Structure 1
Amino acid sequence: MSQTSTGLPSRDEIQPEYKWQIKDIYASEQLWQADFDNVKNDLSKVAKYKGILAQSIRNLIACLKLRDEINILAGKLFAYARLQRDENSANAKYQALVGKTEGLLAETSAATSFIEPEILAIPDDVLTTFRREHFLAEYSFYFDNLLRQRQHILSPVEEEILSRSAEATQAAETIFNMLAHADMKFPDITGEDGKPLALSEGRYRSLIMSPDRRVRKEAFTGLFGSYNAFRNTFAATLSGNVKKNIFYARTRKFNSTLESALSDGNIPVSVYDNLLTTVNNNLAPLHRYIDLKKKALKLDKVHMYDLYTPLAKAVKFNISYSEGLKLVRDSLAPLGPEYTGILNKGLTSGWIDVYENKGKQTGAYCWGVYGVHPFVLLNYNDRLEDVSTLAHEMGHAIHSYYSQAIQPYTTSQYTIFSAEVASTTNEILLNDFLLKTTKNTKKKLYLINQYLEMVRATVYRQTMFAEFEKSIYDKAEHGETLTADLLDELWHILNVKYYGPDMMVDSEIDIEWARIPHFYSNFYVYQYVTGYAAATALAQQILAEGDGAQERYIDFLKSGGSDYPINILKKAGVNMSKARPIELTLGRFSNMLDELEKTITNS
């Protein structure tokens, strides 16, 4: 099913085989409500443990077990509501259900907020005795990690106040999502066939790659013009979110919001700073790529709307969803029969919501639901990029599947730092497979360019995002107001620096910061870069070493959150505390750029 008509289908027009099966979480809303009531009831039971955790290991473990049971149910409740809301963001019923569940999550957080401060108040000798005399393997890493963060955990009363504030402080992100995904209206443009075409976020991803420069420009100006009309509102929502994160970081006695954001995974701030430094020291290959694009497209200047244009003209990959499934299966075969068996299960068992429809959440994501299975949202539109997205999200899905199958709940949640490794390894293996099996010169040229685009978008672009984030938090932490004008200026300057002298940085791009949902998950995007660098190293090992590297990789997926991500990756064969994996990735980018230049010269 290709989304090429002038109007998007309604949800009801999508065939059932292309929809995820929400009933796998709850077969009916009545069952959902029953578990909602169960959580409410269990919350009242938690209170009886308040003040008695230090009395016995029995009390402590019983309380932690009850909290796990509550959190598992709360996770299912939220997934059921949120996934259905994302099917159609304008659906008031599921907007309300999400709001109701967010309220419950806030209650849950508040009701259990005494637990960690109370554990930390247990005298060290008593807690050591508890851990020595009772085999608590399930909670061993939890205790180690908790004690590491002792200085940032507040008193029980303060923790409860912070927990109760969570629902209110989500307002900025909620307003952003409603404005960007439900209320935003985009103009019609004239398509390649000369007919009116409804512009949407989902369609923009195809239109910006059109061989017709007029179409690219119309889509570009139409999309960013729409965002620019609300620039002050978007500045207010982003500023509100930044202030929220600064408030929590300072309240928890961190030196900066960046340090706070990295703390959960025990990632040193130096890893973030080294990333920015390493990429900034290696901008020359990106500038060379832009220069090559200018020559190949015969342009005086490369405009921002030319950036995604494939260099291989007249090459189109119209890949149906069924063909995309086969490519993903074949390319991931080096991961072994166990992995591909789980992959096939996910592809055929209602894990995936495939096509765009009116009101559907844009982009793509994977949502793991403990005790059920992962769910994957796509907006598949028959492009090669959509196949890559499918491979990427199934990497997340199988990571979640392994982690939740092997790990107890308390260590089943892997960090974001690890998450992007699993997804990007799949993308790299897909790209390698296509490069090896494609004989057509023009298509091979396209694929080389696609690899370069992947690195540009994942390493260079996301590092630019990370640098923007660091800049706005630095300014806000020093008392500057994040106005639309300031955000536009910062974004423009970074685009000029990253893309170099051959890029015409059009004024329309200055508002692009308003479109990036990941800025509402503070200091998230840098992990796309570290994840890609780690994945590059791991994919090379898997393809070169075979079974040994494959086994280490599967062990990495099974590890979940049982250790700090840098330690887990070291066991898999990659040291992310060093700059080497990033340098390796940018070195490969430069080598592939050489090959692209040769291919263009010889074709």
Structure 2
Amino acid sequence: MIKPMIVLLTSAAILLSPFNQASAYKGTEINYESREEIPSRFKWKLHEIYPTKSAWAADVKKAEALAVQFKETYQGSLGQSASQIKKAMDAYTKLLRIEEKAYVYINLELSTNESNHDLQALSNRADTMAAAIAEKTAWFSPELGKIPGSQMEKYLNEPDLQLYKNFLADIIRTKPHTLSKEQEELLAKISPLSGTAANVYTMLSKDVRFPKIKDEKGKEVQLTRVNYSTYMESKNRKVRKAAYEAYYRTLTKFQDSFAAVMSAQVKSHNISADVRKYKSSVEAALTPNEIPAAVYDQLISSVHKGLPQMHRYMELKKKMLRVNDLHMYDMYTPIVDSNNKYIPFEEAKKMVIEGLKPLGKEYETLLNKSFSHNWVDVYSTEDKRTGAFQWGAYDTHPYVLLNYQGTKNDVSTLAHELGHAMHSYYSKKAQPYINSGNATFTAEVASTLNENLLWESEYKKAKTKKEKVFLLNQRLEDFRTTLFRQAQFAEFERSIHELEAKGGSLNAESLKKIYGDINKKYYGSLVAADNEIPMEWARIPHLYDYNFYVYQYATSFAASSALAKQVLDEGQPAVKRLKEKFLMAGGSSDPISILKDAGVDMSTSKPIEQSLQVFSETLDELEKLLNE
């Protein structure tokens, strides 16, 4: 079913976790104090969506009026004929396209200036619009669901409804979890409350102020959410330890507030699952996207089998860092010296375009267009949303938000988000609106595929042992922070939902205990159990913003690894298959089938097991190089 405000966000990567979060090298060459200082070529041109706020407000009112008209015209008439359903579907999609465009526009505006009170008010107005439309259309699915199965099956074979066949089949599939018209309308009325936890978390995070620490030169510097990742990569162990302890000890002062927000989010998920008669909140989150809940459990159990290799990597990391005790604040510092000079954005563009050449000339042309037509908002300012994401409406081109600081990670982030953008572009070009949304399960495949190809390109060009060791370590870190770490987050998310569902209390102490135990399982006894790490759950926005999202980073990483290998091994046939069966597929089928057609069967544990094998082989290769 189309739910624009959710579907659009599925291709966002607002938190790339600490493994890809925007960070800055010391001596960054470009640093803008305000948005006005940034040259226009590095900023979105959102006036291309709406030339004025008045034009935007007119569409908001139009969408609300169409919702009222939709209810008055079609409620109670859907069982009459296939042609009547088609008219209703046409009106419904027209309404949603306008709503989507308006909602996306104002939130893109806000993301680059989050402290602007006028934009905050307009974003709230968009939320009000969305809630009103949800209320006015809440009757739609229940009424379609009341049409007898035999009659609906007949309708689905009518030529008039072929465009909407998937949508209507979805109604039949989720019918056991669809409530009465009155119940759906009530849930729609209170739907704005579902975003409360995420909003409170965002504001709470912005209100947290971290202390100053001393950098590598002994200079006192302000620790922030953005530069924290930089100091965690520092070669100076005292600096990264100071940043780590200052960050988490500060979060601990707010632990009860973060726990209350987390508890509220989990309760809302469990209540929704219960009301809609799902067996669990995991099933409730995955079923709408046609992902079997077993896929979630299968990921975690498969990764558990690979933990001995992870512990082996920790042993190597400890040896390479030459430390007596390995701590969590040692995780992000490179095990070998690297050329950490600032990478200008123009150079980053060239690196990404070169790395993605295996995807063909057309893909390369689109990449160049994304740069020349202001699809990418590049540099960070104080009021800009942290991290990176891609978003857009059906009637706009994709928009990519970065907080570019000139690091190697930032280059990978650029490739990642452009993967989302190209996926969105191809899907919208090939599919009608109703089938254009990419499910979250497939969305992260396109992005991590690009990261895979970029790495392969860089490794192929590496000439020295030092370069190769650095890149192999980077590759191992990709596995650690994507496959292992996101599975770890997923296990934590499942555990806290299960605890709450059983009547357990999600307070700060219980959350820390669960997170600390899981972290120890993943990193092993070789890594010190620092007192600070159990608070890391307070730093993961996706646990507050979304509902069982993070597991898809891990599954997507496995799928994209397999697809990248096919592209590099087979060449044009694999590229053609990737484009036609995956990038252009949108929501024309269920995610498992789409990936299977593209060449990866995620209904089995095989892709996860193959990824773990690649991890082990990469570790072998690194050890071999180090012993030469």
Letter of the 2:481 counterpart:
A
Which of 107, 130, 155 is the equivalent residue of 2:155?
A: 130
Mark the runs of 5 or more structure 1 residues left unpaired by the alignment. none
Alpha-carbon separation, structure 1, partners of 2:214 and 2:464: 32
1:49 has 2:74 as partner: yes
Alpha-carbon separation, structure 2, partners of 1:21 and 1:440: 43
Alpha-carbon separation, structure 2, partners of 1:314 and 1:336: 31
User: Which residue of structure 2 lines up, in the alignment, with residue 593 of structure 1?
Assistant: 619
Alpha-carbon separation, structure 2, partners of 1:129 and 1:599: 64
Alpha-carbon separation, structure 2, partners of 1:205 and 1:88: 22
Displacement after TM superposition at 1:221 (Å) = 1.6
Displacement after TM superposition at 1:285 (Å) = 0.9
User: Which residue of structure 2 lines up, in the alignment, with residue 432 of structure 1?
Assistant: 456
Instruction: Judge conservation of contact 2:197–2:265 (CA < 8 Å) in 1.
Output: yes
Alpha-carbon separation, structure 2, partners of 1:334 and 1:81: 36
SS in 2 for 1:189: strand
Q: How high is the TM-score relative to the length of structure 2? A: 0.93
Displacement after TM superposition at 1:210 (Å) = 0.9
Alpha-carbon separation, structure 1, partners of 2:194 and 2:561: 37
Instruction: Select between 156-165 and 307-316 the one with higher mean Cα deviation.
Output: 307-316
Alpha-carbon separation, structure 1, partners of 2:193 and 2:108: 22
User: Which residue of structure 1 lines up, in the alignment, with residue 414 of structure 2?
Assistant: 390
Which of 281, 299, 315 is the equivalent residue of 1:257?
A: 281
Displacement after TM superposition at 1:264 (Å) = 1.3
SS in 2 for 1:302: coil
Deviations 1:202-237 (A, max 9, x none): 211222111111221122122222211111000000
Q: How high is the TM-score relative to the length of structure 1? A: 0.97
Deviations 1:559-580 (A, max 9, x none): 0011000000010010001111
User: Which residue of structure 2 lines up, in the alignment, with residue 581 of structure 1?
Assistant: 607
Residue 186 to residue 399, structure 1, CA distance change in 2 (3 Å): same
Instruction: Judge conservation of contact 1:261–1:523 (CA < 8 Å) in 2.
Output: yes
Instruction: Judge conservation of contact 1:317–1:384 (CA < 8 Å) in 2.
Output: no
Alpha-carbon separation, structure 1, partners of 2:262 and 2:457: 40
Displacement after TM superposition at 1:130 (Å) = 2.6
Instruction: Judge conservation of contact 1:312–1:443 (CA < 8 Å) in 2.
Output: no
Alpha-carbon separation, structure 2, partners of 1:77 and 1:33: 8
Alpha-carbon separation, structure 2, partners of 1:222 and 1:241: 27
Q: Please show how residues 26-41 of structure 1 align to structure 2 within 5 Å.
A: 26-41=50-65
SS in 2 for 1:366: strand
Which of 235, 238, 248 is the equivalent residue of 1:224?
A: 248
Alpha-carbon separation, structure 1, partners of 2:566 and 2:361: 18
1:63 has 2:88 as partner: yes
Which of 212, 215, 236 is the equivalent residue of 2:260?
A: 236
Instruction: Judge conservation of contact 2:24–2:227 (CA < 8 Å) in 1.
Output: no
Deviations 1:460-506 (A, max 9, x none): 00000010011001100000010000001111111111001210121
User: Which residue of structure 2 lines up, in the alignment, with residue 151 of structure 1?
Assistant: 176
Letter of the 1:13 counterpart:
E
Alpha-carbon separation, structure 2, partners of 1:301 and 1:243: 39
Q: Please show how residues 460-475 of structure 1 align to structure 2 within 5 Å.
A: 460-475=484-499
Q: Please show how residues 543-562 of structure 1 align to structure 2 within 5 Å.
A: 543-555=568-580, 556-562=582-588
User: Which residue of structure 2 lines up, in the alignment, with residue 283 of structure 1?
Assistant: 307
Q: Please show how residues 112-511 of structure 1 align to structure 2 within 5 Å.
A: 112-180=137-205, 182-511=206-535
Displacement after TM superposition at 1:3 (Å) = 7.3
Letter of the 1:586 counterpart:
L
Deviations 1:438-466 (A, max 9, x none): 11321221111000000000000000001
Letter of the 1:173 counterpart:
A
Number of paired residues? 601
Instruction: Select between 487-496 and 90-99 the one with higher mean Cα deviation.
Output: 90-99
Moved over 6 A (4+): 5-8
SS in 1 for 2:227: helix
Alpha-carbon separation, structure 2, partners of 1:559 and 1:209: 39
Residue 432 to residue 51, structure 1, CA distance change in 2 (3 Å): same
Alpha-carbon separation, structure 2, partners of 1:238 and 1:596: 40
SS in 1 for 2:532: helix
Instruction: Judge conservation of contact 2:156–2:162 (CA < 8 Å) in 1.
Output: no
SS in 1 for 2:226: helix
Alpha-carbon separation, structure 2, partners of 1:8 and 1:141: 47
Instruction: Judge conservation of contact 1:202–1:356 (CA < 8 Å) in 2.
Output: no
User: Percent same amino acid at aligned positions?
Assistant: 41
1:108 has 2:108 as partner: no
Instruction: Judge conservation of contact 1:411–1:561 (CA < 8 Å) in 2.
Output: yes
Instruction: Judge conservation of contact 1:315–1:446 (CA < 8 Å) in 2.
Output: no
Alpha-carbon separation, structure 1, partners of 2:238 and 2:118: 40
Residue 564 to residue 547, structure 1, CA distance change in 2 (3 Å): same
Structure ranking higher on relative contact order (CA contacts 8 Å, 6+ apart): 2
Letter of the 1:418 counterpart:
T
1:529 has 2:529 as partner: no
Instruction: Judge conservation of contact 1:333–1:340 (CA < 8 Å) in 2.
Output: yes
Instruction: Judge conservation of contact 1:315–1:443 (CA < 8 Å) in 2.
Output: no
Instruction: Judge conservation of contact 2:32–2:379 (CA < 8 Å) in 1.
Output: no
Letter of the 1:470 counterpart:
R
